[in-house]
Amino acid sequence: MSCHEFDDNKVRLHLFVLAYNLGNFLRQLVLPREIKRWTLTTTREKLIKIGAKIVRHARRVVFQLAEVAVPQRLFLAILCAIDRLRLPMPAPG
């Protein structure tokens, strides 16, 4: 293992398991059908480990992402699917 102490390695292993389960959960729930067969490594490299730039204009903020990794239509589909996971707001009163 990478750490010298047993407890440190135990915590590290728990974090890796949590990250794996979260990635697998999101892959099953929100990825469009055409990319559901991506491995977690491919998903991480194409959606998480890619460079992006945030540009601030007068009235909006733009998230610029290289379309080589994921086409805009596919990225928007993923964001919409993630948004649908949100719990509805309780009614006032």
- Indicate the DSSP class of residue 54: E
How many structural domains does the chain have?
A: 1
Mean pLDDT of the chain: 81
- Between residues 20 and 48, the one the model is more confident about: 20
Q: Would you say residue 74 lies in a domain?
A: yes
Residue 33 lies in a domain: yes
Per-residue model confidence (pLDDT) at position 1: 59
Span 50-70, mean pLDDT? 81
Q: Is residue 40 part of a domain?
A: yes
pLDDT in tens, 24-55: 887 788 888 878 788 878 877 777 777 778 89
The answer as to whether 59 is a domain residue is: yes
Domain range for 54 is 6-84
Q: Among candidates 55, 57, 28, 59, which has minimal Cα distance to 43?
A: 28
Has residue 18 been placed in a domain? Answer: yes
Q: Is residue 60 part of a domain?
A: yes
The pLDDT tens digits for 5-14 are 778 888 888 8
